[in-house]
């Protein structure tokens, strides 16, 4: 399912609970991520389509959010000293300045680790009620990790996942796990299969619950509504 790969990675873990489970709105959280990360995707046409094309669908409560996976690639840009030499002549000709990087690697993408305690497995295998599913949520290279952690939601959430254990954005990419995680099992949610709880119902960074409901022929307002449609 490589067509999913710019969204979110998940690692399914069984662990003790961590963080606070007190409800906290996801509105500001998903707005920042939705503004900073963009990609095209094939939509989930129906609940049956979601079940057939995914490997796991879980609902539960968000219990922790912290810094997560980083993806690095070899630097293909010239050093800043070399670029200064090039631009000395280019600028004189009216050419725009170019990027430069004084490092061997550049940050390609970064993620947050979002942990959900499973209350219901709606489809597939690999998790049970009471398990903690640790999710790597793409936030792009611009977003501030600490600010997003401060805005991080608690409360009901739902994820429609595909197995991306062999995923790499490019052959020369390197994974780094600041929180000590690993790529033992990587699951990636469909962009319109990432749902948190906001002030007025279900919210996602890349999809609207009303649009999802229109496609599915249902009135979907909350995470519970989406879960009910997928049962």
- Alpha carbon distance 59, 27 (integer Å): 18
How much is the mean pLDDT over the chain? Answer: 81
Segment 189-201 shows an average pLDDT of: 93
Q: 65: which residues sit within 8 A by CB, 6+ positions away?
A: 19, 112, 113, 114, 115, 148, 149, 152, 153
Segment 50-72 shows an average pLDDT of: 92
- Alpha carbon distance 132, 116 (integer Å): 6
| Residue 94 burial class via C-beta count within 10 angstroms: exposed 0-12, middle 13-18, buried 19 and up | exposed
pTM of the model: 0.79
User: Which residue has better confidence, 107 or 231?
Assistant: 231
Spatial contact of 144 and 160, defined as CB atoms under 8 Å apart: no
pLDDT band at 156 (very low <50, low <70, confident <90, very high): very high
How far is C-alpha 126 from the geometric centre of its chain's CA atoms? 19
Percentage of the chain surpassing pLDDT 90?
A: 43
Count of domains forming the chain: 1
- Reported as a single tens digit per residue, the pLDDT across 122-141 is 999 889 999 998 778 888 88
Q: Which two tokens stand for residue 50?
A: 């979601």
Residue 102 clears pLDDT 70, i.e. is over it: no
User: Which residue has better confidence, 154 or 78?
Assistant: 154
Neighbours of 229 (CB within 10 A): 18
What residues make up the domain containing 19?
2-75+82-230
pLDDT band at 209 (very low <50, low <70, confident <90, very high): very high
Give the pLDDT of residue 193: 94
């Amino acid at each position: 399912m490589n067509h999913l790969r710019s969204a979110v990675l998940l690692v399914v873990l069984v662990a003790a609970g961590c963080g606070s489970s007190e409800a906290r709105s996801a509105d500001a959280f998903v707005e920042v991520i939705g503004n900073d990360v963009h990609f095209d995707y094939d939509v989930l046409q129906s609940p049956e389509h979601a079940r057939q094309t995914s490997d796991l669908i879980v609902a539960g409560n968000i219990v922790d959010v912290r810094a997560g996976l980083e993806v690095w690639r070899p630097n293909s840009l010239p050093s800043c000293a070399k670029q200064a030499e090039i631009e000395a002549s280019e600028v004189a000709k009216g050419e725009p300045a170019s990027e430069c990087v004084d490092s061997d690697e550049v940050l390609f993408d970064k993620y947050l680790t979002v942990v959900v305690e499973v209350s219901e497995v709606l489809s597939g295998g690999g998790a049970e009620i009471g398990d903690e599913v640790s999710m790597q949520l793409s936030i792009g290279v611009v977003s501030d990790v600490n600010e997003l952690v401060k805005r991080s939601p608690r409360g009901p959430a739902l994820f429609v996942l595909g197995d991306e254990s062999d995923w790499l954005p490019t052959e020369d990419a390197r994974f780094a796990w600041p929180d000590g995680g690993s790529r033992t099992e990587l699951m990636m949610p469909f962009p319109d299969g990432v749902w948190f709880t906001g002030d007025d119902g279900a919210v996602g960074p890349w999809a609207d619950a009303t649009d999802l409901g229109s496609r599915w022929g249902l009135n979907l307002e909350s995470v519970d509504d989406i879960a009910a449609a997928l049962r």
